[in-house]
A and B are shown apart, each in its own frame.
Chain A
Amino acid sequence: MMKHAALKTDIPMLDFEKPLAELQKAIDKLKSHALDKGEDFGEQLKNLQLQYEQNCQAIYAGLTPIQTVQIARHPHRPLFCDYVSLLCSDFVELHGDRCFGDDRGLVGGFATIGNLKVMLIGHNKGKNVTENIERNFGQAKPEGYRKALRLMHLAEKYDMPIITLIDTQGAYPGLDAEERGQAEAIARNLTEMAHIKTPIICTVTGEGGSGGALGIGVGDIICMLQYSVYSVISPEGCASILWRDASFAPKAAEALKLTAPSLLQMGVIDEIIPEPAGGAHHDYRKTIDAVRDAIIKHATKLSKLPVTKLIDKRFEKFSKIGKFQQ
């Protein structure tokens, strides 16, 4: 059983975590009581903590898809900036698409992960309102996708693996984005990423929102964090179209099969990276260590393949995705 650090009280609780919040309250109360009275409640405390552990395991083992969506969107979930500080020993951010501007919602640069020199690219959500406005809530515009492509071509030139971290609601739906060719920018990335001559490892760390996610999501290996989601449309969007009511989002989330285990089974992704019980936001270090292990493992393996074989295998991989009858 995974040793679980008690939930930090400053983390906002999701509705389905209420029983845990109550237990945590009881534990805290007992602790302060013990301190005040100078008595030993060791046995009771142990019991409560055990109950907490068991409850936590039970809740997280039986998450519904919409609950997984809530965890994937958790305001305290580790973001690109957390990965930069805990995953990399060095990061040199590179700016601009050389055509229009520098998108703050999708960023990248040279990074050192373990002994590897890589190109790290990812969606850049913010921690607060000010950051989120500057970064457009991690919803990239065409210049973001074009910058990503520029950096990928640079990685190809320097023979370094490309590591992408996916966490976006979707590409930005705005007038300016359409004028500058949102569709073309994403389409170009999909086409170019299919034959870029260096290994590409993609990891969905939070929300994998449709074309905006896929725009940096074509690679040799696609990983997902255990409680991340990856979908063609948001559950709310799907519900408002097919149920004519966004409040049917839980049903849509179930129907869309957007969780990591479902996608692994369908052959969309290659690996699930485990998260600590309670989700990535309860233990950044543990989560990001697991991501690092996966990246290093795959990058080492892929770098041994001759380039032509790498590209052929990537083509075959995507050729096989899909289920139909004949």
Chain B
Amino acid sequence: MGWFSKTDTIKKIVKNDIWIRCESCKAHVFKQDWKNNLNVCPQCNFHGTINAYERIGLIIDAGTFKEINQSITPSDPLDFVDAKGAYREKIIETREKLKLNESVVTGTGKICDIPVSLAVMDFRFFGGSLGSGTGEKILLAANYAYEHRIPFIIFSASGGARMQEGTLSLMQMAKTCAAIARLNDRKVPYISVLTHPTTGGVSASFAMVGDLNIAEPQALIGFAGRRVIEQTIKQKLPDNFQKAEFLLEHGFIDAIINRKDMKKALANILSYYIVK
């Protein structure tokens, strides 16, 4: 084996098995330390992505979560094929690999004994993109909150609308927002938690119209991609551009809350909502 391929192998082991490189401060962190710290960088407090079920474990009282509409999954309405193959095939692969049917997990549960309807996006599933199935599940979870008059909470983590489902995915932005509008009509609370990353069509729909918009530290939140903006305005963007802290400064989110404190903070906020 030549030197170069050897280094490659070592690199692979380092990358995959033992270390995690923080996206934000670039520090190398032991994978175990990263996990023990809830996927938060111990060096810079960057809050990395976390899968939907782990997130639910952190937020919902043990044993109270009941998943709904688990079987909803993408159907490839456009027969979409790109350079890397058919969407249909990728759906099957992704579902098998992740044991997950869509980019969002929805259900009901309790937060410190307060019943809620919950939708948690999972960035691993097609970059958490908003497809028809995602939109449907969020709509149904919002409708559950509407019917039972219980608070609705969404944890967003998404690159935006799902290109492979074309204009149908764009319309999920309108569909989910229509569900939020109905909650507003009935005075049902809706809290949006924006986690890293929440961009494109998801930031421009349900994620931005919470009664409260809450973010995790350093989460990337924005409409257009950084590169697109740099190409358009031909200027370099500030370092904190589109970070949660930038949005707080500009008035688009109410609070930045650490992952480990999120459950308590949500329970406290919900205590201001009194069911009449």
A residues within 8 Å of B by Cβ?
A: 171-175, 177-184, 186-188, 190-195, 208, 210-211, 214-215, 217-218, 230-233, 238, 241-244, 248, 252, 255-258, 263, 266, 268, 314-315, 318-319, 321-326
The residues in B between 126 and 169 inclusive whose CB is less than 8 angstroms from any CB of A are 131-133, 135-136, 139, 161-163, 165-169
* Chain B residue at smallest Cβ distance from A191: B177
What are 9 residue pairs bridging A and B, where the CB atoms are less than 8 Å apart in the complex?
A172-B232, A187-B204, A187-B207, A214-B170, A232-B201, A248-B83, A321-B174, A326-B69, A326-B71
Residues of chain B with a CB closer than 8 A to A321's CB? 132, 168, 171-172, 174-175
Binds A, one of B36-44, B57-65, B179-187, B266-274: B179-187
Residues of chain A with a CB closer than 8 A to B72's CB? 324-326
A242 touches B223 (CB 8 A): no
B204 touches A230 (CB 8 A): no
Given contacts A184-B252, A187-B205, A325-B75, contact A211 B170 (CB under 8 A): yes
Residues of chain B with a CB closer than 8 A to A210's CB? 161, 170, 201
Residue B222 is within 8 A (CB to CB) of chain A in the complex: yes
Q: What size tier do the contact residues of chain B reach?
A: 35 or more
Residues of chain A with a CB closer than 8 A to B136's CB? 322, 324
**Cα distance A190–B206 when bound, in Å?**
9
Residue B80 is within 8 A (CB to CB) of chain A in the complex: yes
B223 touches A183 (CB 8 A): yes
Which one of B74, B75, B178, B225 contacts A318 once the chains associate, using CB atoms below 8 Å? Answer: B178
Residue B235 is within 8 A (CB to CB) of chain A in the complex: yes
Which one of A183, A188, A231 contacts B166 once the chains associate, using CB atoms below 8 Å? Answer: A231
Residues of chain A with a CB closer than 8 A to B251's CB? 181
Given contacts A183-B208, A324-B73, contact A258 B166 (CB under 8 A): yes
A231 touches B167 (CB 8 A): yes
Residues of chain B with a CB closer than 8 A to A256's CB? 78, 163, 166-167
B residues within 8 Å of A by Cβ?
A: 69, 71-75, 77-78, 80-84, 102, 131-133, 135-136, 139, 161-163, 165-175, 177-182, 184-185, 200-201, 203-209, 221-225, 228-229, 232-233, 235, 237, 241-242, 250-252
B73 touches A325 (CB 8 A): yes
In the A-B complex, list the 4 residue pairs whose CB atoms are closest, starting with the nearest. Answer: A173-B224, A322-B132, A190-B177, A194-B178
B163 touches A238 (CB 8 A): yes
Residues of chain B with a CB closer than 8 A to A187's CB? 173, 177, 203-209
A194 touches B174 (CB 8 A): yes
Tell me, rounded to whole Å, the shortest Cβ–Cβ distance linking A84 to chain B.
26
Known A-B contacts: A173-B228, A258-B166. Give 10 more (CB < 8 A).
A178-B224, A180-B250, A187-B177, A191-B177, A211-B161, A211-B200, A215-B204, A314-B178, A318-B175, A325-B75
B205 touches A190 (CB 8 A): yes
B184 touches A191 (CB 8 A): yes
Given contacts A183-B204, A187-B207, A210-B170, contact A324 B178 (CB under 8 A): no
**Cα distance A252–B228 when bound, in Å?**
19
Residues of chain A with a CB closer than 8 A to B221's CB? 183
Residues of chain A with a CB closer than 8 A to B209's CB? 184, 187-188, 191
**Cα distance A263–B82 when bound, in Å?**
20
B168 touches A319 (CB 8 A): no
